[in-house]
């Protein structure tokens, strides 16, 4: 079969939404809204960085990149890194090496545009295998701790598949238990359904670890991030003398079985503990937390609160989930560097899962 690769043009938008609905679920209106949020409204990449494969003038495969802003150490200049997402090949066109060929074409094209680094944070096992082969090595493995487990029986999985298909048509009410608690919570630990964007950004600036390569979580980032139409978000805040001393962000995907803690910042380790305990106590679904960089104190705290390390259920010979990175620039003998930090060394990075489009 012959394919032609093209960069995004508005004439493909409806077909992209249709392909997305077929592969990932959700109705046409939802898939369009998701595309607009992720690729048109992203604050870092002026216009959609998106590619399609055409067969007989029909969109049969796609791959996009949304922008993210990173800084390596406190003094280096911020750097935009495009993060890959929405890799999909239509059912009739699979196993023809279309995804592999498309990845190579797109990587070359993005490098020619001047991007030195391309990242992926959300590859499932088949996409991970493809990308690692296409020169996107896994740099930083995720560590996940969990409490409870969404059912893995055929019935439970079938129900979640149906829920995903109905995204955009059926309104589910998430976080019922959390919202009941939040409505009457008093004291220093509070629950909320809306972010406190400028206070959160200010706390990150004041308390965030800036020694590693980290995502810039400023007000512009948070403002865009929490408009993601595929997820519901809730927030737990810790107040101290009327100001914000800590926060935690909870996410639940529409049609998903987990609540995930995707971001946090606290002025002390004790506050982090209190916020995690509140997330456990006031959330009904199975809970997980993922990062590449938990401190020993955090791990002890998670385990003492009953969260256990997740054992990757996929059990394949492919490296477990994590951050994949393609680097194109010439580099030193010991590998590419940014702000003096070695890019292929996991310990150079502080990856918060809020950077990933899975959440």
Ligand X SMILES: CC(C)(COP(=O)(O)OP(=O)(O)OC[C@H]1O[C@@H](n2cnc3c(N)ncnc32)[C@H](O)[C@@H]1OP(=O)(O)O)[C@@H](O)C(=O)NCCC(=O)NCCS
* Residues contributing to the site for ligand X (CB under 6 A): 23, 87-89, 94-100, 122-124, 126-127, 129-130
Task: For ligand X, give the closer residue by CB, 123 or 261.
Answer: 123
Query: Hey, what's the torsion of the CAs at 138, 140, 143, 149, to 10 degrees?
Result: -30
- Considering the complex, what minimum distance in angstroms separates the CB of residue 316 from ligand X? 8
- Assigned token pair, 35: 């595309």
Asked if residue 118 lies in contact with residue 84, where contact means CB atoms within 8 angstroms, the answer is: yes
- Considering the complex, what minimum distance in angstroms separates the CB of residue 102 from ligand X? 8
176-185 long-range contacts, Cβ below 8 Å, gap at least 24? Answer: 176/284, 177/282, 177/283, 177/284, 178/234, 178/250, 178/282, 178/283, 178/284, 179/234, 181/281, 181/282, 182/234, 182/282
- Considering the complex, what minimum distance in angstroms separates the CB of residue 342 from ligand X? 27
The rounded distance, in Å, linking the Cα atoms of 82 and 25 is: 24
- Considering the complex, what minimum distance in angstroms separates the CB of residue 86 from ligand X? 7
- Considering the complex, what minimum distance in angstroms separates the CB of residue 226 from ligand X? 22
- The torsion angles phi and psi of 348, rounded to 5 degrees, stand at -80, -15
SS3 30: helix
- Considering the complex, what minimum distance in angstroms separates the CB of residue 157 from ligand X? 15
Task: For ligand X, give the closer residue by CB, 35 or 272.
Answer: 35
- Assigned token pair, 58: 């029909």
Element (H, E) at 54: strand 49-55
- Considering the complex, what minimum distance in angstroms separates the CB of residue 83 from ligand X? 12
Task: For ligand X, give the closer residue by CB, 96 or 331.
Answer: 96
Asked if residue 141 lies in contact with residue 322, where contact means CB atoms within 8 angstroms, the answer is: yes
Task: For ligand X, give the closer residue by CB, 23 or 299.
Answer: 23
Asked if residue 142 lies in contact with residue 321, where contact means CB atoms within 8 angstroms, the answer is: yes
- Considering the complex, what minimum distance in angstroms separates the CB of residue 125 from ligand X? 7
The rounded distance, in Å, linking the Cα atoms of 297 and 305 is: 12
Asked if residue 348 lies in contact with residue 169, where contact means CB atoms within 8 angstroms, the answer is: no
The rounded distance, in Å, linking the Cα atoms of 311 and 316 is: 12
Place of tokens 């079938």: 158
Task: For ligand X, give the closer residue by CB, 100 or 304.
Answer: 100
Task: For ligand X, give the closer residue by CB, 23 or 111.
Answer: 23
Task: For ligand X, give the closer residue by CB, 99 or 261.
Answer: 99
**Within 10 Å of residue 109's Cβ, how many Cβ atoms?**
14
- Considering the complex, what minimum distance in angstroms separates the CB of residue 53 from ligand X? 9
Asked if residue 336 lies in contact with residue 327, where contact means CB atoms within 8 angstroms, the answer is: yes
Kindly report the length of the chain: 359
Place of tokens 């995502």: 215
Task: For ligand X, give the closer residue by CB, 52 or 302.
Answer: 52
Task: For ligand X, give the closer residue by CB, 94 or 227.
Answer: 94
- Considering the complex, what minimum distance in angstroms separates the CB of residue 214 from ligand X? 24
Task: For ligand X, give the closer residue by CB, 89 or 215.
Answer: 89
């Amino acid at each position: 079969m012959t394919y032609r690769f093209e960069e995004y043009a508005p004439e493909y938008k409806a077909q992209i939404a249709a392909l997305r609905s077929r592969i990932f679920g959700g109705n046409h209106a939802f898939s369009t809204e998701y595309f607009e949020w992720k690729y048109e409204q992203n604050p870092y990449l002026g216009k959609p960085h998106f590619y399609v494969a055409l067969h007989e003038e029909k969109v049969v495969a796609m791959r996009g990149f949304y922008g993210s802003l990173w800084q390596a150490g406190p003094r280096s200049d911020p750097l935009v890194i495009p993060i890959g997402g929405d890799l999909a090949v239509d059912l009739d066109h699979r196993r023809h090496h279309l995804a592999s060929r498309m990845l190579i074409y797109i990587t070359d094209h993005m490098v020619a545009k001047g991007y030195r680094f391309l990242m992926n944070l959300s590859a499932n096992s088949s996409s991970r295998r493809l990308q690692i082969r296409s020169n996107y090595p896994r740099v930083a493995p995720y560590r996940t701790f969990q409490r409870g487990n969404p059912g893995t029986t055929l019935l439970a999985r079938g129900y979640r598949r149906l829920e995903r298909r109905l995204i955009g048509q059926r309104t589910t009410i998430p976080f019922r238990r959390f919202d009941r608690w939040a409505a009457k919570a008093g004291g220093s630990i509070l629950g909320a359904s809306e972010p406190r964007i400028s206070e959160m950004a200010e706390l990150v600036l004041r308390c965030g670890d800036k020694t590693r390569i980290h995502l810039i979580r400023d007000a512009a980032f948070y403002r865009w991030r929490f408009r993601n139409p595929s997820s519901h978000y809730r927030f737990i805040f810790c107040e101290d003398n009327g100001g914000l001393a800590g926060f935690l962000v909870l996410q639940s995907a529409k049609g998903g079985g987990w609540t995930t803690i995707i971001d946090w910042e606290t002025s002390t380790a004790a506050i982090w503990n209190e916020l995690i305990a509140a997330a456990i106590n006031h959330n009904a679904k199975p809970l997980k937390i993922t990062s590449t960089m938990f401190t020993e104190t955090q791990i002890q705290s998670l385990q003492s609160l009953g969260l256990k390390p997740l054992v990757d259920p996929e059990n394949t010979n492919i490296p477990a989930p994590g951050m994949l990175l393609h680097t194109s620039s010439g580099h030193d003998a010991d590998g590419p560097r940014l702000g003096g930090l070695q890019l292929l060394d996991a310990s150079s990075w502080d990856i918060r899962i809020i950077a990933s489009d899975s959440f």
